[in-house]
Structure 1
Amino acid sequence: MLIRSWDRGDEQEWRDWLAGRDFGLLSANNPDGGPVLVPTHFLLDGAEILLHLAAPNPLFTAVRADPRVTLAVTDDYAFAPGTWRASATPTSYYASVQFDCTAEILDGPAEKAEVLNRQLDHFQPETPDVRVVPGEKPYGPMLSGIRGLRLTVRQVRAKFKYDDKLPVEQQAAAGDRLAERGAPGDAAAREQLLRRLGRRGGCPVTEPARG
């Protein structure tokens, strides 16, 4: 992913943006061809990412051959047509965070139960009494059908592409265009654009886009 100086996100920015986002695309190197891509929920905890997949998932074969993986989360995207921009060149607005990681397969019952319980605490906090215990029903006997993954984060790349290279007046005008168009995704993209504009010292309008 190409990241220019004007659309690079710092750690606080990408962590704030990821709060509430826990679904991404996990990529591993397939020894027999192209990459293995798996959409998946995940749990980010500091420099560690936890998730689980069905045991037959081909990603595990790829990880055994090469434990280097990448998890990407992309959202808040919109298309900006050339008619919106002084250069007449269309572009895409989006936010994307990519984690380069080293993956460890977790296949012991206790390890898998720990992953599932931590995920339950995150995704299903309304049922704190639901626990996965190896060998105990209802979930313990199902553990053989999954494997866990612990991803140790080596590097994070964060990009917030919202025309920060343009003069603040032109960037603000793009926010107005997103509000006027009101297509799916425009409100979220506009929110990010105005937030980035505010960081530059612009004067964004903070009410949500309507369409």
Structure 2
Amino acid sequence: MLIHPWDAARDDDEWRGWLRTRDFGQLAVNGVDGAAPVVVPTHFLYDGDAEVLLHLARPNPIWAALEANPAVVVSVHDDYAYIPTSWRSDSPVTGVPTSYYAAVQLVCQAEIVDDREGKAEILRRQLAHHQPAGDHGEVAADAGPYHRNLSAIRGLRLRVAEVRAKFKYDDHRQAELHERVARGLAERDLPGDAGALNQQRRRRATAP
């Protein structure tokens, strides 16, 4: 992912705060023997520091790819909007359209978890995160509503080695352009426009 200096996260708190409210993304793994990459959309649990936990069905094609190469990327993007030519210039001849978006990529080393207690622990922590009301029953390797299904899944423990974070909202452009784009996003109000507008305003308000 290309990250210009003006699009980079200002600090770790910025991307961590953004990612804290997002727990669905794509897990990308290199294909085996030159095949296309394996990309799996999935919920996950990130501890905010060094570890990502998730589980997937045993028949998932990702396992062979992971066994061949445990390097993976967890990719999350949101708050995106298409910015048309006329919003970025007074003249449609000179204007250049672009995309606004926020994206975080966690580059990780994967460890496959196959023992029952290890899988139960991952499931327990995921359910506590995704269903915090506690309506998930007991989660144990040999009891509760899930233990008979543990053989149908495999767990993944991902150790974060690198973080790539990008907030692409024309930070390097003049205030006049920001104001024109902000008006356009507010008036158009397509899905994603409100999130992009909020990020654009936040970045402007916190600019050094």
Normalised to the residue count of structure 2, the TM-score between the two structures is 0.93
1:74 corresponds to which of 73, 77, 99: 77
| Uncovered stretches (5+) of structure 2, i.e. residues with no partner | none
CA–CA separation in structure 2 for the residues paired with 1:100 and 1:121: 25
Partner of 1:40: 42
1:194 has 2:201 as partner: yes
Residue 169 of structure 2 is aligned with which of 162, 178, 202?
162
Distance 2:146 2:136 in 1: 13
Determine the structure 1 residue equivalent to 2:150: 143
Match of 1:134 in 2: 141
C-alpha distance after superposition, 1:137-193 (max 9, x if no partner): 421011000000000000000000001110123112211110011111111110000
Match for residue 59 of structure 1 among 20, 40, 62: 62
CA distance in 1, matches of 2:12, 2:5: 15
Q: How many residues align?
A: 201
SS of 2:32's equivalent? Answer: coil
Q: Write the deviation string for residues 2-25 of structure 1: whole angstroms up to 9, x where unpaired.
A: 000001012110011112210000
Deviation beyond 3 Å, 4+ runs, structure 1: none
The structure 1 residue matched to 2:109, chosen from 96, 102, 106, is 102
CA spacing shift, 1:129–1:96, aligned 2, 3 Å = closer
1:6 aligns with 6
Instruction: Note the aligned Cα RMSD (angstroms).
Output: 1.2
Letter in structure 1 aligned against 2:117:
A
Matches within 5 A, 1:169-184: 169-184=176-191
Letter in 1 for 2:181: A
Give the distance between the partners of 2:148 and 2:191, measured in 1 at CA: 42
Q: TM-score, normalised by structure 1?
A: 0.92
Q: Give 1:117 shift.
A: 0.3
Give the superposition deviation at 1:129. 6.7
CA contact (8 A) 2:138 2:145 kept: no
Q: Identity rate of aligned residues, in percent?
A: 53
Q: Which 5+ residue runs of structure 1 have no aligned equivalent?
A: 202-211
Q: Determine which structure has greater relative contact order: mean sequence separation of CA pairs < 8 Å that are 6+ residues apart, divided by chain length.
A: 2
Are the equivalent residues in 2 in contact too, given 1:121–1:128 (CA < 8 A)? no
1:209 — aligned with what? Answer: none
Shift of 1:128: 6.2
- 1:206 aligns with none
CA contact (8 A) 1:172 1:194 kept: no
SS where residue 115 of structure 1 aligns? helix
**SS where residue 191 of structure 1 aligns?**
helix
**CA drift at 1:136:** 2.0
Q: How far did residue 200 of structure 1 move?
A: 2.0
DSSP 3-state at the match of 1:61: helix
